[in-house]
Amino acid sequence: MWVNHAVNYLFFILEVVTVALAIVIVFALIVGLSAKAKRAKKGQLNIKSLNKAYQNSQQQLAHEIFNKTEFKKLQKQHQQAQKLLHKNKAALSNVFVINFNGDIKASQAESLAEEVSAILQVAKPDDEVVVKLESPGGAVNGYGLAAAQLARVKQANLKLTAVIDQVAASGGYMMASVADQIIASPFAIVGSIGVVAQLPNIHRLLSDKGVDVELHTAGKYKRTLTMLGENTEEGRQKFKEELEVVHRLFKEHITHFRNKVEIEKVATGEYWFGQSALELNLVDALMTSDAYLLEKYQTGQYNLFQVEYQIKKSKFAALCHSTLNLFQRVGP
């Protein structure tokens, strides 16, 4: 009995040490690669004319369904439109389209900063920035930074439109709320104005195995809750107070940018689909991003450009990034 218990205990310790070492190694590699990437800051700004993309798709389809006479007529119309566009190019307003697909850390905020900076250097007063936003939310500091990048557009007195096709909740809605207008598809998920945090605690498991964990801090609330040690009611209460502070700041942010919203009615952590979100003034119109941009193009009054800043990653860095995302999905 004693021998079996000792062997089981030894295997438990080995498992804990192995997992801990694996986590430390992975995170060390990620931190090192991240630091190297920041020093190198290798990235590329890609610009795509959406006007040309629309024209090309129209011509490809027309080539299949029109007869030769109709197709030649369409080509002639395109040529005339191109000449007119080139002649009046400077007089037309520009629509700059940005895609933001948010993860839990809002890691695309760095690319967003580059995209906004590029646009602000060339934009005219009557231009518009459209951000196609997809995010279920995540870390408050990451999404706070991303929202601040979008706020730069408004500070430059440019029109900012946020379009939500599927979901912009929590931190995603924090970003969207900065916009002059928010457009959502009918079944897009919007809202979740709340704060959540969860932390596993394995103190009892360790105690049952005879493992003691010591935690030393300087400062009464340097660590309120811990994964390994025994948590106190005082620590839990302080942790909840910190969450309430973040929630209050979140509500103030929404109120500042969308003063028509009844904040206490919507800041419950709930989410709504498009139509309900419209009734609650969380969004301003129901439409997909494709419909909104195509409508702009068909007026013939806008040059539409997709602006994307891509940060180059090595295959190994991409693998480490995927591993980090796995830890984030299964972690707190």
The DSSP result for 48-64, as a single string, is: EEHHHHHHHHHHHHHHH
Q: What is the pLDDT of residues 241-266, one digit of tens each?
A: 787 888 889 899 999 999 999 999 99
Q: What is the pLDDT of residues 178-203, one digit of tens each?
A: 999 999 999 999 998 877 767 677 76
Among 68, 87, 222, 315, the active-site one is 222
Its pTM stands at 0.74
More confident residue, 98 or 328: 98
Is 111 designated active site? no
- Region label for 321, one of left (φ > 0), alpha (ψ between -120 and 50) or beta (otherwise): alpha
Long-range contacts, stretch 257-265, CB < 8 angstroms, 24+ apart: 257/177, 257/178, 257/179, 258/177, 258/282, 263/193
CA dihedral 33, 39, 40, 43 (to 10 degrees): 90
Residue 206's contacts (CB-CB under 8 Å, 6 or more residues apart) are: 212, 213, 228
Q: What pLDDT band is residue 2 in, cutting at 50, 70 and 90?
A: very low
* For the chain, percent of residues with pLDDT exceeding 70: 72
Is 222 designated active site? yes
Dig out the tokens for 76 from the structure. 């002639």
Q: What is the pLDDT of residues 48-91, one digit of tens each?
A: 999 989 988 888 888 788 787 877 777 777 776 666 666 666 67
Mean per-residue pLDDT over the chain, rounded: 80
Tell me yes or no: is domain 43-176+295-311 CATH 3.90.226.
yes
Among 107, 111, 170, 177, the active-site one is 170
